[in-house]
Structure 1
Amino acid sequence: MTYPKIPLAQTVIQLCKAKNIKHIIISPGSRNAPLTIGFTNDPFFKCYSIVDERCAAFFALGIAQQIKAPTAVVCTSGSALLNYYPAIAEAFYSDIPLVVLSADRPKHLIGIGDGQTINQKNVFKNHILYSANLKLDLKDEKNVPLHEELPIMKNIENKLERFLGLQKGIQDYNEVEINTAINLAKFKNGPVHINIPFDEPLYETVSELSVTPEVVEFNFKDNNGIDNHILRDCYEDWTAASKKMILVGANHPNEIDKALLSEFYKDESVIVFTETTSNLHKKSFFPSIDQIIAPLSEDEQKQLQPDILLTFGGLIVSKKIKALLRKYKPKEHWHIDQKKANDTFFSLTKHIETSAQQFLESFLPMISHYKKSDYKSIWTKVKQDRLKKHEQYLNEIPFCDFSVFDTVLKSIPSNTVLQLGNSSAIRYAQLFTINKTIEVYCNRGTSGIDGSTSTAIGCAVANEKQTTFITGDLSFLYDSNALWNNYIPDNFRIIVVNNQGGGIFRILPGHKNTENFDTYFETNHQLTAEHLCKMYNFEYVSASEKNQLTDQLSLFFEDSDTPKLLEVFTPKNLNDEILLEYFKFIKQR
């Protein structure tokens, strides 16, 4: 085995190994050389080299999302670190464990004009579970070449510290900080930052370890248990209410026992709205929320207003349900989550600090009778009417974004993974029923378009199932460095819906078809993915009308020697009109 000579690098690497962090995503640099040497020379780790730090961090996020365990990203000092920030924010709001290992210069070399140097301490403080700012190992002056002599004051400082035996204190401090950070990432599910100062020389290696850090396990208290008085309060309010709405955001597949969900079928006073990313499927549920909400009159919205709103899962995509529940607030809003409860509808009354699975297991057996109500029957009839109009509308419209999503979503093979881009892609997907065997994911922590492709590729690397990524043209082009990646599986598929700009902005209020709108909002362009596919060895196909699309999809998901990309060109001046007319059409009696 070959190890970095620097004890601090050895300490970080050994503790990552002890805590089973296997996936290490490394961006090239010099200051992080001790870490790179250590990780890449140990066969325990699966190392990836990705040049663009923003892509690297989202790639790591995609892996962590799938394995439900921390991945680590490693970078050099300076602005390289700042490129991790979008993915860190996404991990923070999506509860995904990510360990950021940033190399740094020694304290005495910061703020003196050296290159690749910024103030890295606590740089992510608003979006991080923990920032560990490690201490520099003491320098052994016997091995310092003459041209690398330290400043006089630094030499005196080192001698005094050595005299006082503080190297052990530094080692102990660093071990505590590293243990704390990684433990929090693992058990609190979120990003942590470990900032690691290294002095030169950086590339020296040894054949034996000089330190054996202590592995400290997290003193994690299981908070899944629910106080009986909380359950009793919930029971009394729940059984008295005649209108109960359950709203489910993003969930991992199979996170909730399907048998528990069946209990809601029996209760006529309960309706269950599920987002596309909830990965929950029951015939009695309401999966296309906007399909129900968007066409409602004021009186109908008021009629839908629940007495109790029960929410769990990640952040909510549907703006329609947010607007309705903010205007017609529930009397009570309970949110189930082990970490946090967002007051999304400005009516939060209970934060039940447990998992949804544990709550349902404890709560549902208490319910022995159901409140008589026509709440579910009324809205089930609305759902059935909407679905009929939905199919009728699809048969009447020309080729457009709307019809493309219908065709594409129906074509995705069973038992595969679907990653959705942000903006229009996730919103169109919410209007359709998706095959219940397909696992659905989307970066909805911050809802940015910046790393969707990179995340999807990380997901594909970590998951043996075929992964399909559906995205818009701006999102795809924005994150095109994601394809600069040597690890993309041959069964990875990308579908780019190219409407020559940010088509979602045409749906929003404002003056359209002006030079100002085209340039600064829609950002009209004539770019395609074809040349990127040639450069990155993707098989490229395209379609610009329905029969072409159907023909391409018939072969698109078959086995191949390279990943594939299908680019679908749609008419940008029709898409917004067809979508807006859809909500009017499905309201008709």
Structure 2
Amino acid sequence: MSYTRALTAQTFSLIDTLHAYGMKELVISPGSRSTPLAIAAELHEGIKTYIHPDERGAGYFAIGLSKKSRQAVGILCTSGTAAANYTPAVSEAGLSHIPLIVLTSDRPQELKNVGAPQAIEQNGMFRNFVRYQTELPIADEHESAISLIDDKVMQASQFFTGINLGPVHFNIPIREPIMPDVDAVDLFNREEKNIEPPLVIPRNIERLQGQGLVIIGETAEDLSDLTELLSHDNLTVICDPRQNIRTKLKGSIVNHDLIFSSLEESQEEYIDTQADFIIRIGEPVTSKLTNGFLKKTKLPQILISEFQDIKPFPKTPDQVYTGTITEILSKLVETSNENSLKSWFTSLSNKIAAYIDHNIDSFKDEGRHVYEIIHNTHEDRTFFLSSSMPIRDFERYDTRVEHDVFANRGANGIDGVVSSALGLATSNPVTMLIGDVSMNHDLNSLLLAKLENIDFTIIVFNNNGGNIFSYLPQYAHKPHFERLFGTPLDLNFEHAARLYDYNYVRLDSVDQVQEKMLNAKGRNMIEIMTDREHNLESHNQLKAELKKVVQNFGA
């Protein structure tokens, strides 16, 4: 067997075996050393490929592809710093339990540490973030060559579903010549595996009675089957914006940040006396104030973690159950007609929402824009929210509660959010909310909508800097605030829209927000010009008004 035949057998078999175990999409960043793998994927009829020239964005685009379905998605690059640029996305995938299959092609050993170009130490480079890593040998004709690939992919596939869901890394050294036999498609002969997440049910579940708070963060598991159970009178359900059961569950509390930020001591005592337990499900919620309540309350807390790497933040729970959420919760809670706690929370939540609805016209800040965007965007569009202010403003102003929401909150960074939103938008229309600093950070990923003909609307709040820092202690130190934290960029994103062929609209007033522009097909950029100081003043004004609403509510 020639080296070319051995290389073709190795790379084509690797791609085909990954497909058999569920990899149906692969994001390729062009490069030379990855040639045989890229050609194999392009030839494989069962794999859809995407091209992203920037590895950092490619990794985040793949996260977006997997965000909703949690299906295994691959990324492929050449050797050297191309692989290193995957690091932010791999860390996000690790913390967010995204089954990202990282394929890094590499130089052979004789080119390592001798000064050869594009050669860095790649084996194990993502060890802090991946669930599994391996390096394949140089392709040869040994009789175990193909069975080794079958073994390695089978081992890695244990992390494509289940309680250890997360990214895996294959490093593949490739020696020249790098062109495979493009006619060897007969190597694509493996049957697809039936990959289903296992049911994991602990045996030690102790039944809970009484009234409880059920606080649900983001989950990989679809919780729709729990709608009936969670609707019972004795369960008060609090949902993070990323928990999309909130759109199906009548009476779920979505403005909890505004509640827990304003409670008086007597109201906190009322909650503690009425509730018998707190159940936390999934990832920690976004709200710092809700997490603050959880940290100081004396109520017993039970954490249901769908993954083995338990996240106890913000407070060590009294009990943890790991496994399938729908199975665990149905065995954990005893339903009843006790409703004093749920009635109190629901009435207060409705009062807050009504106050915002009735008084929003007196505000002209970013929050008002977010309110109008939510209320004028059709239900079939999905929102992808950048970190910092967009996700927090959405949580505050979503009195409609009809849209699915996604965000990157594993590492909570601002990098790659445009890429992830575009990955999600390949399966359904997406509207993204983002600030000017985050937008600039991932600007080149706008190209993907053009290359892949993606229906995508991106709304940029241009307040000329990092708006969230105005709400943090750094703001009090005026001499260095603007340079170190406010970071004004003085950018006009119309130029980016023209560069990447987006329809562009600039809004200088909330009165210009229109339903038609928010629901237009194609590639659309809406740049909204706002002022950070005005945003801060309006935000604090509404917060103060809502604090009175909460504190005047009886307990």
If the length of structure 1 is used for normalisation, what is the TM-score?
0.85
- Residues 59/174 of structure 1: CA separation in 2 closer, same or farther (3 Å cut): same
Which one of the candidate residues 267, 289, 297 is aligned to 1:300?
Answer: 267
Give 1:525 shift.
2.0
1:443 paired with 2:408, answer: yes
Equivalent residue, structure 1, for 2:155: 180
Equivalent residue, structure 1, for 2:352: 386
> Contact between 2:43 and 2:185, CA under 8 Å: does it hold in 1?
no
Which one of the candidate residues 282, 292, 311 is aligned to 1:313?
Answer: 282
1:365-380 paired onto structure 2 within 5 Å: 367=334, 369-370=336-337, 372=338, 374-380=340-346
SS of aligned partner of 2:318: strand
Write out per-residue CA displacement over residues 461-495 of structure 1, whole angstroms, 9 at most, x where no aligned residue: 1x1x3211111111111110111224444531111
- Residues 85/20 of structure 1: CA separation in 2 closer, same or farther (3 Å cut): same
The AA in structure 2 aligned to 1:422 is S
Equivalent residue, structure 2, for 1:250: 218
SS of aligned partner of 1:132: strand
SS of aligned partner of 1:310: strand
- Residues 523/55 of structure 1: CA separation in 2 closer, same or farther (3 Å cut): same
Write out per-residue CA displacement over residues 378-427 of structure 1, whole angstroms, 9 at most, x where no aligned residue: 33343243334333542333x11111111111111012211111110001
1:200 paired with 2:210, answer: no
Distance (whole Å) between structure 1 residues aligned to residue 154 and residue 509 of structure 2: 56
Which one of the candidate residues 286, 290, 302 is aligned to 1:333?
Answer: 302
RMSD of aligned Cα (Å): 2.7
1:468 paired with 2:436, answer: no
Which one of the candidate residues 467, 473, 494 is aligned to 1:530?
Answer: 494
> Contact between 1:291 and 1:431, CA under 8 Å: does it hold in 2?
yes
Give 1:69 shift.
1.1
Distance (whole Å) between structure 1 residues aligned to residue 524 and residue 29 of structure 2: 26
Equivalent residue, structure 2, for 1:275: 240
Distance (whole Å) between structure 2 residues aligned to residue 19 and residue 376 of structure 1: 44
Give 1:456 shift.
0.7
Equivalent residue, structure 1, for 2:311: 342
SS of aligned partner of 1:576: helix
1:574 paired with 2:534, answer: yes
> Contact between 1:77 and 1:103, CA under 8 Å: does it hold in 2?
yes
The AA in structure 2 aligned to 1:495 is I
> Contact between 2:16 and 2:190, CA under 8 Å: does it hold in 1?
no
- Residues 6/401 of structure 1: CA separation in 2 closer, same or farther (3 Å cut): same
> Contact between 1:247 and 1:311, CA under 8 Å: does it hold in 2?
yes
The AA in structure 2 aligned to 1:474 is V
- Residues 356/534 of structure 1: CA separation in 2 closer, same or farther (3 Å cut): same
Write out per-residue CA displacement over residues 288-337 of structure 1, whole angstroms, 9 at most, x where no aligned residue: 11111111234433443454211113331010011121122432333242
Equivalent residue, structure 2, for 1:545: 509
SS of aligned partner of 1:99: strand
| Structure number, greater radius of gyration | 1
- Residues 341/304 of structure 1: CA separation in 2 closer, same or farther (3 Å cut): farther
SS of aligned partner of 2:259: helix
Note the residue ranges of structure 2 that are not aligned, 5 or more in a row.
none
Note the residue ranges of structure 1 that are not aligned, 5 or more in a row.
140-166
- Residues 578/405 of structure 1: CA separation in 2 closer, same or farther (3 Å cut): same
Distance (whole Å) between structure 1 residues aligned to residue 332 and residue 308 of structure 2: 20
- Residues 278/395 of structure 1: CA separation in 2 closer, same or farther (3 Å cut): same
- Residues 356/220 of structure 1: CA separation in 2 closer, same or farther (3 Å cut): closer
The AA in structure 1 aligned to 2:284 is L
Which one of the candidate residues 255, 258, 283 is aligned to 1:291?
Answer: 258
If the length of structure 2 is used for normalisation, what is the TM-score?
0.90
1:68-79 paired onto structure 2 within 5 Å: 68-79=70-81
Distance (whole Å) between structure 2 residues aligned to residue 132 and residue 291 of structure 1: 47
> Contact between 1:58 and 1:455, CA under 8 Å: does it hold in 2?
yes
Equivalent residue, structure 1, for 2:460: 496
Distance (whole Å) between structure 1 residues aligned to residue 414 and residue 319 of structure 2: 33
> Contact between 2:382 and 2:405, CA under 8 Å: does it hold in 1?
yes
Q: Percent identity?
A: 25
Distance (whole Å) between structure 2 residues aligned to residue 378 and residue 544 of structure 1: 40
The AA in structure 1 aligned to 2:107 is R
1:142-153 paired onto structure 2 within 5 Å: none
Distance (whole Å) between structure 2 residues aligned to residue 94 and residue 85 of structure 1: 14
Distance (whole Å) between structure 1 residues aligned to residue 239 and residue 195 of structure 2: 35
> Contact between 1:252 and 1:278, CA under 8 Å: does it hold in 2?
no
Give 1:275 shift.
1.1
The AA in structure 1 aligned to 2:256 is I
1:585 paired with 2:545, answer: yes
Write out per-residue CA displacement over residues 521-572 of structure 1, whole angstroms, 9 at most, x where no aligned residue: 111121021001001000000111122224xx4333133xx41111111121
- Residues 117/536 of structure 1: CA separation in 2 closer, same or farther (3 Å cut): same
SS of aligned partner of 1:127: coil
1:484 paired with 2:447, answer: yes
SS of aligned partner of 1:431: helix
SS of aligned partner of 1:510: helix
Give 1:277 shift.
1.1
1:555 paired with 2:517, answer: yes
> Contact between 1:106 and 1:199, CA under 8 Å: does it hold in 2?
yes
1:400-479 paired onto structure 2 within 5 Å: 400-433=365-398, 435-461=400-426, 463=427, 465-479=428-442
- Residues 452/368 of structure 1: CA separation in 2 closer, same or farther (3 Å cut): closer
